[in-house]
Chain A
Amino acid sequence: MILAQPPTELQPGFAATLLVILVSATFTENILLTRFLGMCPFLSISRQLKSAVGMGLAVVFVTTCTCFLNATLYWYVLEPLKAYHIPAESLKLILFIVVIAAFVQLMEMLIERISIGLYFALGIFLPLITVNCAILGASLFMINKDLHGLSALVYGFGAGLGWMIAIVLMAGIRQRLKRSKVPAALEGPGITLIIAGIMAMAFVIFQGMIKL
């Protein structure tokens, strides 16, 4: 594990490391298609391309920011407390949720204030995100992978991007699906889950390409 010590930005090869983190978070460990997290909005909001993109962008934004915030909280507050026998591993679950919820609330207010256009495009998805397990999952995986600072930020971005790619692909497929005959029993979530399974198999080929 090269990343055990937080690398500084001056280190040669740091940019390459970040790229590895990004690609691995986006593709090889696609949070949706390899971990099956965030399935709920993936199934219900992938009917239309436009809302899929909106939801995807909102997820990218929130994972990026919350991963960074949670990394800071964990490594600078919780980790040092381990020395005093504080169960940081258990506390992080509660605290990460608090951070995510507060951040989403804050962003909703901020976006409404800054740009009404952006608020209507993105803001309406934000309340849905607070309870999205992919967001919490990204933060927890990030801690498992021992990522700090900028690496955490890039990991969050990659995880969000991977989720967005998956939902946008699915929306594209479902838009075409509207014009094809689907057996009545499989209409709606049924066929969507089957498609998700096939997509997940396609993502298996990325496995082993890079290991983080």
Chain B
Amino acid sequence: MKRSPQLQFVVDRMGPGGVCREGFLGSDPRPLEEILDADNSTVAGMNRTHAQIAERLQTVMDVAIAAQGRGVSVGPHLEAGWHEAMGRIPSPWPGEGTFSKGEMELTDARTGRTVRVTPLAVHLIAAHGFYQGRGSRYRLEPDELAAMLGL
């Protein structure tokens, strides 16, 4: 299916080498529209909103950043660590400015699962309900994420 030039621009910027080396879509074979729709229904099915998930992530990230690289406990079973990186990265969507690089490693002590969250990822969830493509370094499964955050 054809896309509007605006959305095609976003998808192009999400590819490898567009905004970042690895891109946002990973090895996900689905088109962007389908990824968004699927994650949308998952979140709606939990009776949550993207804004709630993003807000909780932001709170956790603020704590992790303030710890300046030292690991910090951010919940009953949740450990967070901040890895600083130089520079800023723009959102693939136009008009949204740039976000500082660096990533938060979030580990659930119960399951041992670790996810990586960046400031841009939090923004993409809040503004677009975009959790990135499967196979990408920063893919977040909305249901697992919500469970980790106690939502």
Measured in the bound complex, the distance between the Cα atoms of B9 and A128 in whole Å is 13
Cβ-based interface call for A41 (8 A): yes
Q: Which residues on the A side are within 8 Å of B147 (C-beta)?
A: none
Bound CA–CA A47/B41 (angstroms) = 19
Asked if A205 is an interface residue, CB under 8 A from chain B, the answer is no
B2 near A40 with CB under 8 A, answer: yes
Within 8 A of B (CB), among A52-80: 55
In the complex, what residues of A have CB within 8 A of residue B7's CB? 47
In the complex, the answer to whether A44 meets B41 with C-beta atoms within 8 Å is: no
Residue A48 at the chain B interface, CB threshold 8 Å: yes
* CB pair B2 A51 closer than 8 Å: no
Segment 1-51 of B: residues with Cβ below 8 Å from A: 1-7, 33, 37, 41
Question: What residue in chain A is nearest B3 (Cβ atoms)?
Answer: A44
Please classify the interface of chain A as helix (H, G, I), strand (E, B), loop, or mixed, using the class held by over half of its residues. Answer: helix
Structural contact, B2 and A44, CB atoms closer than 8 A? yes
CB distance from B1 to the nearest CB of A (A): 5
Most B Cβ at <10 Å: residue of A47, A55, A125 = A47
- A20-40 interface (Cβ within 8 A of B): 40
Looking at the assembled complex, report how far the CB atom of A7 sits from the nearest CB atom of chain B, in whole angstroms. 39
Are B33 and A188 in contact, with the CB atoms below 8 A? yes
A100 at the interface (CB under 8 A from B): no
**A4: CB under 8 A from chain B?**
no
Contact assessment for B4 and A40 in the assembled complex, using a CB-CB cutoff below 8 Å: no
CB distance from A40 to the nearest CB of B (A): 5
For the complex, give the distance between the alpha carbons of A55 and B6 in Å: 12
**B interface vs A, CB < 8 Å?**
1-7, 33, 37, 41
- Excluding A44-B2, A189-B1, 17 further A-B contacts by CB distance (< 8 Å) are A40-B1, A40-B2, A41-B2, A44-B3, A44-B4, A45-B2, A45-B3, A45-B4, A47-B7, A48-B4, A51-B6, A55-B4, A124-B5, A125-B5, A128-B5, A188-B33, A188-B37
A-B contact pairs, 28 of them (CB 8 A): A40-B1, A40-B2, A41-B2, A43-B1, A44-B1, A44-B2, A44-B3, A44-B4, A45-B2, A45-B3, A45-B4, A47-B4, A47-B7, A48-B4, A48-B6, A51-B4, A51-B5, A51-B6, A55-B4, A124-B5, A125-B5, A128-B2, A128-B5, A184-B41, A187-B37, A188-B33, A188-B37, A189-B1
